[in-house]
Amino acid sequence: EALRARCRAAAHPGPFRIPRVTFASLSMAAALILVVGGVLLYSLTGLSPAVLAAQLTIDHVTCFAVHDTDASVDARASEERYARDYGRQIRLPRTSAAGLQLVGVRRCYCGEGAAAHVMYRLQGRPVSLYMIADTSRSRAGADVFGHDAVMWSKQGTTYVLVSRGPRATLETLALALDGGL
């Protein structure tokens, strides 16, 4: 009889009884949060230059942590390798006046899609130029996570320059890179 009473109580919990949480219900909740968060992040990226700059700054720090080199690479060979590997032509800025040393080109992703990530060093300091095709944004700047970002568009491509350094230096670099496109 005691067993029947416990079974009835378990089948019909009282109004103040907390339901048992299962692994499946926690997994579903986590998946829902990821989906909603991803949709919000994607939509916010299109609205806010600071959100895009934050995404690219995180990528900048991560890529330079993985690809920590001072060895220069050839711009033309990098363009050819990028086209062969990813099926998309890119044109790297041709400028030596900026004092930038090209150390790598790779493909990365942000809320706007795939981006060519051009990795430079300026006096040993990492500098990233992201080129996001088929997008256009107004000129903007952002300070995120101790890094500055300068954003501009030209001929249907958005460019974002990211580095830890003074904004004035980045603005000068952005003008030099834009002139070399």
Please provide the distance, in angstroms rounded to a whole number, between the alpha carbons at the two ends of the chain: 84
Structure confidence at residue 22 as a pLDDT band (50, 70, 90) = low
pLDDT tens digits, one per residue of 119-158: 999 988 999 999 999 888 888 888 888 899 999 999 899 9
CA distance 160 to 58: 13
Evaluate whether 90 touches 102 at the Cβ level (below 8 Å). no
Contacts of 117 (CB under 8 A, 6+ apart): 59, 60, 63, 105, 106, 107, 108, 128, 129, 130
Note the pLDDT tens digit of each residue in 62-111: 999 988 788 889 999 999 999 999 999 999 987 666 688 999 999 999 88
Provide φ and ψ at 111, rounded to 5°: -60, -20
Closest to 162 measured CA to CA, from 139, 175, 178, 146: 146
What share of the chain has pLDDT > 70, as a percent? Answer: 82
Contact (Cβ atoms closer than 8 angstroms) between residue 103 and residue 120: yes
**For residue 20, pLDDT beyond 70:** no
